Amino acid sequence: MTNIRERLADLLGLDGVSELALDASRSPLPMAKPTDEAELCAVLELAARDGLRVLPVGAGSRLTWCRPPTECDLALSTRRLAGVVAYEPGDGTLTALAGTPMDVLARTAADGGHHVTPDVPRPAGTTLGGVLAGGASGFDRLRHGPARWHLLGTRVAEADGRVTTSGGRLVKNVTGYDLHRLYCGSQGSLCVILEASLRLFPLPERRVVVRRSFPDAESGLAAAWAVARLAVEPLAVVLTDRPDAGGAPWSLEIVLGGRKARVAWERGEIEAALGEVAIEEDGVARAALLRDLEPDPTHAPALHLTSRPSRVAGVLSRAHGLLGSSGVTTTSVIHPGVATVDLPLPASFDGLAGLVRELRSIDGARVAVRGTDLPEGLEPLDPPRAGLALMRRLRGVCDPDGRFATGRVL
């Protein structure tokens, strides 16, 4: 490790090298922190020449989404490659370097009357490159879908240090194969994202949150399905059982955003469907609070469950039953429209492996475990059910010498 640090310091200077701790069972990795594209490519060229395996990272907020690498010699951070490269209000596009925090992108776009998707939790500690490489969707995914839908183009560094481009910066200039969308969710196994261009949306003139309380999750979910059948387009629909749920055990909150007249009409439609509701007029602040309810797995483990929308109630009931039998009390954050359930767990919970095994036996459920220092042998992700051979072939083409750290996904 010392020798690797010295070689990195020769390239980047002493302030360009630090450490990355992955878990308590292994020594920290030396981490290269280049300040520009040339330095980053030089690190990749060094790794290719000396046979070193590289783990690309942004701010590190999504490293817990996959298992730690089985073989890795150094981490390569893009967090100092930051800044907005181009913002075209007339075209509704924005291009930024991979290390740019998501809150910077949101403020830049908002100043010009635009909204950036995905609207991720804790955006100040999340980078653009990390969001794309992690395949993260945002709080606004019910309306806007996954990030890859709105990724126009990328510049990436391949395993040998070569820089390649896919797509373009403007909607009208996007040509060629959609390799940039292939990179979404690749977890740093195919390339290092250097720069990305996004399609933007108009900034909502108004946001409000419509809230209704319910005695149990089943009635809250039934109300969510009733809203889904309306001709409304919420930014998000969230069902929670947190202490601030308005006095009742469960609270359904529907975030509306858009032109004032449209928001007023959608509000009326929801009131007609659900009956008496509470209205949060400061929808921006409330939506940000709801967005940041997603558990932070860097502090304690969390479960992320997905299923078909029709099976959310059953999956939630089974999860609560298993947790209750283990003596664990938790809160729930449910997005019925996209069929996800997030459950934060106590840091000292000893029955995690058995709980996950039971949850993975539920027909139609997918279980992801997010957290540091997970029990040995516990897989954070369900194994891929289809496409595994294709995924391995793609990795073989993009990284034929296996320079990027192995074992995280494949």
State the DSSP string of 156-195.
EE-TTS-EEEEE-SSGGG--S--HHHHHTT-TTSS-EEEE
- Whose CA is closest to 99, among 139, 56, 135, 140? 56
The model's confidence at residue 59, banded by pLDDT at 50, 70 and 90, is: confident
Tokens standing for 401? Answer: 């010498």
Instruction: Specify the higher pLDDT residue, 377 or 156.
Output: 156
pLDDT at position 208, please?
A: 97
The pTM of this model reads 0.92
CATH, domain range 206-290: 3.30.70.2190
Tokens standing for 363? Answer: 């027909």
What's the CA gap between 365 and 303, in Å, rounded? 12
The model's confidence at residue 349, banded by pLDDT at 50, 70 and 90, is: confident
pLDDT at position 38, please?
A: 96
pLDDT at position 307, please?
A: 92
pLDDT at position 337, please?
A: 94
pLDDT at position 385, please?
A: 63
- Residue ranges, comma separated, of all CATH 3.30.70.2190 domains in the chain are 206-290
- Residue ranges, comma separated, of all CATH 3.30.465.10 domains in the chain are 84-202
What is the third-level CATH fold of 294-399?
Alpha-Beta Plaits (3.30.70)
User: Quick one: average pLDDT of 169-180?
Assistant: 77
Q: Is the pLDDT of residue 297 over 60?
A: yes
- Residue ranges, comma separated, of all CATH 3.30.70.1150 domains in the chain are 294-399
What is the third-level CATH fold of 2-77?
3.30.43
Residues 6+ apart with CB under 8 A from 378: 352, 353, 356, 369
Whole-number percent of the chain with pLDDT over 70:
96
pLDDT at position 263, please?
A: 97
pLDDT at position 68, please?
A: 78
- Residue ranges, comma separated, of all CATH 3.30.43.10 domains in the chain are 2-77
The model's confidence at residue 212, banded by pLDDT at 50, 70 and 90, is: very high
pLDDT at position 225, please?
A: 96
User: Quick one: average pLDDT of 83-94?
Assistant: 95
Q: Is the pLDDT of residue 344 over 80?
A: yes
Contact 112, 89 (CB under 8 A): yes
Q: Which CATH architecture has domain 84-202?
A: 2-Layer Sandwich (3.30)
Averaged pLDDT of the chain: 90
pLDDT at position 282, please?
A: 87
Contact 332, 217 (CB under 8 A): yes
Q: Is the pLDDT of residue 231 over 80?
A: yes
Contact 319, 341 (CB under 8 A): yes
pLDDT at position 87, please?
A: 96
The model's confidence at residue 371, banded by pLDDT at 50, 70 and 90, is: confident
pLDDT at position 299, please?
A: 82
Q: Is the pLDDT of residue 298 over 60?
A: yes
